[in-house]
Amino acid sequence: MVTTRSASRAASVAPRHPSPSSPSPSSSNNSTTVSRTSWTHAPTRLTLFWFGLSLPLVIWDTGYVLLRPLTMEGGSLHWPLYTPYKLYGEVDHVYGWKAFDAHSGFTAAQGTLNVVETVMYLFYVGWYLGKGVRVEVKGKGREKGVGEGKKVLLGRQAGVAVLVAFSAAVMTLSKTVLYWLNEYFSGFDNIGHNSRQDLILLWIIPNGLWLIFPTYIIYVMGGEIVEGLSNASSSVAIKSE
């Protein structure tokens, strides 16, 4: 049995199908009544908040990167959608004319990975919203975040969702760390011209969010994966010869 420690951790539930002659236990509230024998998954509110905030920003950013120079100052797509990048391109030359004129491939490479990550995150959100069912947990110790009316993914569907989101978060964190290390090992070639205040407000804080939240997702969903594997392995009897 898999236990939970937070709203997004794996809870132990399995569908309990009523007999054909008996009324459905969920007929009154549109919920599925389940007993505690199988794995489920539901994202935390913080995870959903981050996806709601970050996904539109990443799609916007990726559009700017992959459509350059049309999206840059003077380009036909620059105004009004991408006008903030005039300032950001001056703060971080990776996004400005310096890198573009130098034919630096790093910007477009990380933008292409953004596409892969975004597709994976959108798959996770769509999978949860489209395949999630509302459940009512039966048994001792109703888990936090998994109770009557809570939308969850069950069994294999839960495992697929967690694996996809975890993998995407590892990609995001790794790419962001690489982005920071690229500046460090190049002597801060693209951001070293900024004042300390501009660097903190316009580069460190915005980019730091893509270190903090993916790390959180990795911690939460990685914990679910480990916990699920641990409980699955504990149910296997090992016979010593």
Q: What is the pLDDT of residues 159-188, one digit of tens each?
A: 999 999 999 999 999 999 999 999 999 999
Residue 241 lies in a domain: no
Distance from C-alpha of 191 to C-alpha of 207, rounded to nearest angstrom: 12
Amino acid letter, 35: S
Is the pLDDT score of 241 beyond 90?
no
The secondary structure of 204-215 as a DSSP string is IHHHHHHHHHHH
Residue 153 lies in a domain: yes
What's the whole-number average pLDDT of the chain? 84
Residue 186's nearest CA partner among 196, 197, 178 is 178
In degrees and rounded to multiples of 5, residue 174 shows phi and psi of -60, -45
DSSP 202: I
- pLDDT category of residue 137 using cuts at 50, 70 and 90: low
Residue 29 lies in a domain: yes
Q: What is the mean pLDDT of residues 111-137?
A: 93
CB atoms within 10 A of CB 193: 12
Distance from C-alpha of 146 to C-alpha of 28, rounded to nearest angstrom: 19
Residue 91 lies in a domain: yes
* Count of structural domains within the chain: 1
Q: pLDDT: is 155 or 95 the higher one?
A: 95
In degrees and rounded to multiples of 5, residue 38 shows phi and psi of -145, 165
Q: Which residues of 21-43 are buried (b: 16+ CB within 10 A; e: fewer)?
A: eeeebbeeeebbbbebebbbbbb
Q: Is residue 155 within 8 Å of 132, Cβ to Cβ? A: no
Q: What is the pLDDT of residues 15-58, one digit of tens each?
A: 444 444 444 444 444 545 544 446 889 999 999 999 999 999 99
Residue 6 lies in a domain: no
Residue 234 lies in a domain: no
**Token digits of residue 2:** 């898999």
pLDDT value of position 71: 98
Amino acid letter, 187: G
Distance from C-alpha of 147 to C-alpha of 135, rounded to nearest angstrom: 6
- pLDDT category of residue 231 using cuts at 50, 70 and 90: confident
**Token digits of residue 117:** 């990550």
Residue 1 lies in a domain: no
- pLDDT category of residue 230 using cuts at 50, 70 and 90: confident
pLDDT value of position 228: 84
Residue 3 lies in a domain: no
Q: Which value, to the nearest 10 degrees, does the dihedral of the CA atoms of residues 188, 189, 195, 201 take?
A: -70
Residue 60's nearest CA partner among 111, 98, 4, 3 is 111
- pLDDT category of residue 145 using cuts at 50, 70 and 90: very low
The domain of 75 spans 11-16+25-229
Distance from C-alpha of 131 to C-alpha of 151, rounded to nearest angstrom: 9
